[in-house]
Amino acid sequence: MKVLGLISGTSHDGIDAAVVDFALQGDVLHGHITATASTPYDPALRARIRAALPPAATTLAEVCALDTLIGQAFADAAAAAPPVDAVCSHGQTAYHWVDGTRALGTLQLGQPAWIAERLGVPVVADVRSRDITAGGQGAPLVAHLDALLLAGLPGRAAALNLGGIANITVPGPRAWDTGPANALIDAAVLRTGAHPAGYDVDGAIAARGRVDEALLADLLAEPYYRLPPPKSTGKELFHSGYLDAALAQRSVEPADLVATLTALTARTVADAARGADVDTLVVSGGGAANPTLLRVLAAELPGVRIVPSDELGAPRDAKEAIAFALIGWQTLHGLPATLPACTGATGARVLGAIVPGAGPLRLPAPPPAPPTALHLTPDAGT
């Protein structure tokens, strides 16, 4: 079964896509990655998304409009991919409602009916809500992919995704959001106008700066870091207003600010990795392309091998899209795609709602047993 996974992450810069052709052989699921792509949002749409996200106020009219416009953008991205049997669309997170250690709700925009109408195939969507109704955080859902990919690796390997928010899957397995990865760095670049791209390209700004140790200490006092996992967070906490409050009584040079926030990401990730006594860290996400962040992280974790997820067959820029293709395959086969120890739910759940395609909805029979490992093989050039 060929499944297209679609996601726009917490950096809300565009839509990542991955087509994976899945075949179950015994208890091992084989995934042939036939295509990956990243489609930037139209600048006007990205500006509207950014303007509607916390800490900004918005209206139901704007939420409705964004649900349609994002859904149409996802349908365009899906139509540009090779033909598939099904789609799993994560959409764009607009709000992740967390009260202390408990997730109460989550909202992803991007109406999946636009994709189903455009492609004529079933679409799995709204994948986080079911885990939350079972008492879970609804995140990090990539932990299911991580656990299958890491199965059988020697030593104590962990998986780290550095998107807007950083999440880690450690042996056990256990998983949680460690805190900001690129969220505050991007906010600082936008705030100071340090680069027209709106992010620290190749970590060059941080490389020029010096860490403000007093500011770093204040940022590390954030209560979220001391909460026990499982836990989840997002731009509802780590947004531009959070950064403005931290800088209210300070004057920090732009390069020093970006260097300090890069150190914050590295320190909070390293604390999580040290606590789990890992010896290998498999890294993916946009932050995996930031050599300054990886250098600072390596200095925090001497003796820990840091490798890109490409070494396990998952291209670092497409791993989350692959994870949602996997979730789609699991859901369509009637299989749970959550790990209760990672999300905190009372049990594993089949995720999402299915929007039928053009014809009758025919689901495959569930396999005798769920897969215990995943082997990914990318096409050359993906």
Is residue 381 pLDDT above 80, yes or no? no
pLDDT at 55: 87
Tell me the mean pLDDT in the region 158-163: 97
pLDDT at 217: 98
Instruction: Give the range of the structural domain holding residue 265, as residue numbers without chain letter.
Output: 150-312
DSSP tag of 275: H
pLDDT at 85: 98
Q: Could you give the number of structural domains in the chain?
A: 2
Tell me the mean pLDDT in the region 6-21: 94
pLDDT at 382: 73
Tell me the mean pLDDT in the region 319-337: 98
| Residues 180 and 261 reside in one and the same domain | yes
| Whole-number percent of the chain with pLDDT over 90 | 93
pLDDT at 194: 87
Burial of 207 (0-12, 13-18, 19+ CB in 10 A): middle
The model's pLDDT over 233-279, given as tens digits with 9 standing for 90+, comes to 999 999 999 999 999 989 999 999 999 999 999 999 999 999 999 99
Query: Given 257, 283, 312, which residue is the final one in a domain?
Result: 312
- Which one, of 139, 164, 157, 179, lies nearest residue 271 by Cα? 179
pLDDT at 183: 95
Which CATH number covers residue 329? Answer: 3.30.420.40
pLDDT at 249: 87
H-run or E-run covering 367: none
| Residues 186 and 271 reside in one and the same domain | yes
Which tokens sit at 76? Answer: 């365009």
| Residues 293 and 183 reside in one and the same domain | yes
| Residues 100 and 121 reside in one and the same domain | yes
pLDDT at 101: 84
pTM: 0.95
| Residues 308 and 365 reside in one and the same domain | no
Which tokens sit at 353? Answer: 């709602």
The model's pLDDT over 60-96, given as tens digits with 9 standing for 90+, comes to 999 999 999 999 999 999 999 999 999 999 999 999 9
Which tokens sit at 187? Answer: 């906010």
Query: Given 287, 312, 337, which residue is the final one in a domain?
Result: 312
| Residues 169 and 279 reside in one and the same domain | yes
pLDDT at 11: 84
Query: Given 291, 312, 333, which residue is the final one in a domain?
Result: 312
| Residues 49 and 79 reside in one and the same domain | yes
Task: Tell me what the pLDDT averaged over the chain comes to.
Answer: 96
Is residue 380 pLDDT above 80, yes or no? no
| Residues 160 and 56 reside in one and the same domain | no
Contacts of residue 269, Cβ cutoff 8 Å, sequence gap at least 6: 160, 162, 166, 168, 178, 179, 181, 297, 300
Contacts of residue 76, Cβ cutoff 8 Å, sequence gap at least 6: 39
For residue 305, what are the β-bridge partners?
280
Phi/psi of residue 179, each to 5°?
145, -160
| Residues 162 and 134 reside in one and the same domain | no
Is residue 12 pLDDT above 90, yes or no? no
Tell me the mean pLDDT in the region 83-110: 95
Residue 10 banded pLDDT, cuts 50, 70, 90: confident
The model's pLDDT over 50-61, given as tens digits with 9 standing for 90+, comes to 999 988 999 999
| Residues 263 and 301 reside in one and the same domain | yes
Is residue 212 pLDDT above 90, yes or no? yes
| Residues 13 and 162 reside in one and the same domain | no
| Residues 25 and 72 reside in one and the same domain | yes
Is residue 100 pLDDT above 90, yes or no? no
What is the Cα–Cα distance from 321 to 307, expressed in whole angstroms?
A: 19
For residue 99, what are the β-bridge partners?
102
What is the Cα–Cα distance from 236 to 134, expressed in whole angstroms?
A: 22
